[in-house]
Structure 1
Amino acid sequence: MEHTFLLKADWNGGRNSDGRIETGQLRTAISIPAEMGGPGVGTNPDEMLLGAAATCYLITLAAMMERAGLPVVSLTLESEGIVDVTNNIFTYRRIVHRPRVLLSVEATDGQIEQALRLAEQAESSCMISRAVAGNVALSTEPVVERTA
């Protein structure tokens, strides 16, 4: 079975212009980020790649923890994308995911270890991670704790 996603885009000129994209529930302005000499309007490809990788990782991790029956109280994520600029060539180098998993106070040491393992495994199970593998370095720095 295949799923098809359609994106429509409009662009208003040259490099330092802006545009709009629409796909599913996502409707936003786009441009080159100010950090890269653009107008900084709306979002940009760098943020969108990070957003795709982060949301895919987070949803994958949540599903894996649910299937494992772990007593998750909260699951949050901070992700960082690093883009290198050498000789005016922009290269997306790496993405680091930093999930924070809070398990119930009754969670066993074994469940904490399992949550840590799943946080590592979710990276290789995520569709977006598999799509960029070999081009962008991916890593996780999970923290798993019990509620007080």
Structure 2
Amino acid sequence: MATIDPVYTIASTATGGGRDGQVVSQSGQIDLDLQPPKEMGGSGDGSNPEELFSAGYAACFLGALRATSKQAGSPVPDDSTVTVAVGIGKDDSDGGFGLVATIETYIPGVDEAKAKELTENAHAFCPYSKATKGNIQHNITVRV
């Protein structure tokens, strides 16, 4: 396992019922009511852990895509995007729940083979991808 020397650390605190409560970050930038989505029997009137995870993952992956493509001498266009859809469902292996992440990159003006290569490089570099590798299912698609 790699040794990590953090250059930034942030903490968030959940209160209430977890998925049915509140989460506040140490910086105060996040201060959200949490509610399970309607699909899981909740009201859907607040955010939820999967929504927060998908937002963080998408931002991190786009940063990784920009960094690795620039490093490879093929910077992606400024209007490139990353969308990460996070799903939660029953995990047949233990009766609990598991996650699946669908990562879609949009890299306009780049041929499909190059876009796939850049996306795979970003997936290997992204801290979120590394943290979830072997732990959740990843589906990766590329649009050009």
Question: Shorter-normalised TM-score: what interval?
Answer: 0.7 to 0.9
Match of 2:105 among 94, 99, 103: 99
Aligned residue runs from structure 1 range 1-148, under 5 A: 1-12=5-16, 14=17, 17-24=20-27, 25-67=29-71, 68-70=73-75, 72-85=77-90, 89-92=96-99, 94-103=100-109, 113-144=113-144
- Report which of the two has the higher share of strand: 1
| TM-score, length of structure 1 as denominator length | 0.73
Partners of 2:31 and 2:67 in 1: CA distance? 27
Partners of 1:71 and 1:61 in 2: CA distance? 8
Partners of 2:82 and 2:76 in 1: CA distance? 17
CA-atom RMSD in angstroms? 2.7
Q: CA deviation at 1:122?
A: 0.8
Deviation per residue, 1:82-108 (Å, 9 max, x gap): 22236873221x2111111113xxx6x
Moved beyond 6 Å, runs of 4+: none
Aligned length: 136
Unaligned runs of 5+ in 1: none
Tell whether the 8 Å contact from 1:9 to 1:21 is kept in structure 2 after alignment.
yes
Tell whether the 8 Å contact from 2:68 to 2:118 is kept in structure 1 after alignment.
yes
Q: CA deviation at 1:142?
A: 0.8
Partners of 1:84 and 1:120 in 2: CA distance? 26
Partners of 2:56 and 2:101 in 1: CA distance? 11
Larger Rg: 1
| TM-score, length of structure 2 as denominator length | 0.75
Unaligned runs of 5+ in 2: none
